[in-house]
Structure 1
């Protein structure tokens, strides 16, 4: 199917947020064009942790059978180790939400969203297609310029353009919505290892002074491991040599030592992530709205990026549908229709990123006095019921599903 010259909604980016939004809007009879610069979904995604409310939402939206057919891992909790001692633990079974978070790879999830729209004549997906600029008139966005895989440029008129193109969003830049970047003190180098039999199915944070590992069981039989390094410290780490890097990781968590020796062989087995928060003061313009990482880039702490994106999509879908049904002035969906919803989203995003910044500061502590204070603080928090209130608010914000979207 070719790229249409006009559509109701043009979604740039077919990650989880863009693909889900395209499916939900198409189910409502709205003409949707979803474009993705990559030719397929077979690439490395880090955001595989789906919080319990996201799992519930996906099932209510009709994607439960796809989750079951593929398979997933349920996560039972989160544990924090400080200098070799198990100091902090949250048991997810104690939350009233009634469902556990799951680990589920993104490529099959995105495919499930596209399959959910398959056969709908008003849904078009264009892989290998790049966004190159916005079409604007009288201060409003009226569509976008796209470049197909063969280099052909296409202008597509749209009543709404959705920027779902991630943490380095080109749509955001073209719209003049410049983010305020808050760099974290450290970046991350991640890799995968085989998961030993009997390994606990929970997220673990293993900390030794100012060095740490995040160790997450991953479907079907792997561990995702992230190791911190100083900002702009990748060059020095590589200069010290790969054997030195493996020894550094094993010193933090000796359980990984035999796995590192046999399965982490070169820098090619690792993946670098620059860690930062991006705050965009304005998430919408007339004819345009940003979702997911394009509007609120978070750090990887507790894997909230994909879950925040799903919250955006579930809330925006009925607003977009209602605006299109009303027939806004000049046919353009005005930014004002999103104002109240985006104000609430910003409050929750600020809570999440505030928690993440405090966690980053705590992990950067290195002196004996600082680490002793950190142990005492985490041990005290672990003994108090308030930890469950904090994590419940952080992880379990309900997704309000419109009945029109349920399947």
Structure 2
């Protein structure tokens, strides 16, 4: 594709910040920096972001983060607003609590964010061929030979590794094929409608390697995300994608008792996730955010939380400090990776990813005991009509016997 400059500019020129990657993280970061008065160039291969199975639901802390950053209204205008989440297990309702939530496809989220870009952000549609960094000026070369320069490059390339690898940035693989998430639509059978706008249905059998199913209103339909720890290549996966109704009857037989009769509609998409973090990433002139730096299991809900935390800390705290003085060396960049808020969020995302997998798959007695304690605590919470404040246990090769309970998403 030949690169082109949007109607926001006639000449890419030179900028304070060049953001590579126009997904939700790159777009929101560029918007915040543009609003702050910096000159920003946002580069992405797609003029309109294409269909992509990623985050499809906003709830919990994500709502507060987006509101604080000033994006919630732009991203959720006209969407159905859910105000409760219903938790169910073994064919019955466990409890209902209040939480604001919205369902929308990832590409719609990105394109809504792009529509809110301020005029200070100049968009270039094209493919990045090479990035040359230094402690002064960064040069981004496009595949058609065009050149864009800036004081800082922000890599918001998601799971794409090519640019980071070319810069000498590595990845430490924590677990290959850590989890597998499915997405598909369902509809009620007969002249009925689903009672719950946001339903979280827990696993029924540990041997099935399922964490939970989330069913939520998305426009005129109900969307299902099924979070599993299956392998993308195994026969079960192929069978499920061919006939999700049969797959759900086999693994979550009590679901219909809670939802009512339903049938899947449209295609099933699956997304495998490798769990990784970056290494050798402290480089002159370039900083990484979101999945470009570290992955999180989608079942935790921490992927979007991490991304928004990165965006907020980088744009509100670190970049303004960096641009006040000359140079953009690795020592400056390192202050972002050492940020205690970011580090805490990164550590929690990795911990929660490992914890949820162990909770959903481990057969050792200590984990069976732990799951029993969770069910007891949920029963107590239901009796007292409130949700307990539960903490996350720390994971080791041999989990301690005094582990705390499961999070509300269990």
Q: Same fold (TM over 0.5)?
A: yes
Query: Comparing 344-353 with 103-112, which one deviates more in the overlay?
Result: 103-112
Unaligned runs of 5+ in 2: 1-5, 393-404
State which of 14, 37, 45 in structure 2 corresponds to 1:6: 14
- Partners of 1:59 and 1:236 lie apart in 2 by 40
Distance of aligned partners of 1:140 and 1:347 in 2 relative to their CA distance in 1, 3 Å threshold: farther
Distance of aligned partners of 1:335 and 1:171 in 2 relative to their CA distance in 1, 3 Å threshold: farther
CA shift for structure 1 position 162: 0.7
Unaligned runs of 5+ in 1: 94-98, 396-407
SS at match of 2:77: helix
| 1:191 match | 184
| 1:279 match | 277
| 2:160 match | 168
Does residue 39 (structure 1) correspond to residue 41 (structure 2)? The answer is no
Query: Comparing 356-365 with 42-51, which one deviates more in the overlay?
Result: 42-51
Contact 2:55 2:106 in 1 (8 A): yes
Structure-to-structure mapping, 1:5-404, within 5 angstroms: 5-67=13-75, 69-74=77-82, 76-77=84-85, 79=87, 81=89, 84=91, 91=97, 93=98, 100-118=100-118, 120=119, 122-127=120-125, 129-137=126-134, 142-147=138-143, 152-183=144-175, 184-194=177-187, 196-211=193-208, 212=210, 213-220=212-219, 221-226=221-226, 228=228, 230-234=230-234, 237-238=237-238, 242-243=242-243, 246-254=245-253, 255=256, 259-260=262-263, 263=265, 269-281=267-279, 283-323=281-321, 325-329=323-327, 332=328, 334-336=330-332, 338-339=334-335, 342-344=338-340, 345-365=342-362, 373=369, 375-382=371-378, 383=380, 387-390=388-391
- Partners of 2:151 and 2:113 lie apart in 1 by 23
Superposition RMSD in Å: 3.5
TM-score (norm 2): 0.77
Moved over 6 A (4+): 391-395
CA shift for structure 1 position 16: 1.1
Contact 1:49 1:101 in 2 (8 A): yes
CA shift for structure 1 position 343: 3.7
Q: Deviations over 1:162-209 (max 9, x none)?
A: 110102333322222211112255433332223642125243333323
- Partners of 1:27 and 1:394 lie apart in 2 by 36
TM-score (norm 1): 0.77
CA shift for structure 1 position 65: 3.6
CA shift for structure 1 position 371: 8.3
CA shift for structure 1 position 351: 1.8
- Partners of 1:317 and 1:393 lie apart in 2 by 33
Aligned residues: 370
CA shift for structure 1 position 372: 5.4
CA shift for structure 1 position 216: 2.9
Contact 2:240 2:247 in 1 (8 A): no
Distance of aligned partners of 1:292 and 1:209 in 2 relative to their CA distance in 1, 3 Å threshold: same
- Partners of 1:197 and 1:257 lie apart in 2 by 7
Contact 2:53 2:269 in 1 (8 A): no
Contact 1:132 1:146 in 2 (8 A): yes
Specify which structure has the higher proportion of helix: 1
Contact 1:319 1:337 in 2 (8 A): no
- Partners of 1:207 and 1:167 lie apart in 2 by 32
Question: 1 or 2 for the larger relative contact order (CA 8 Å, sep ≥6)?
Answer: 1
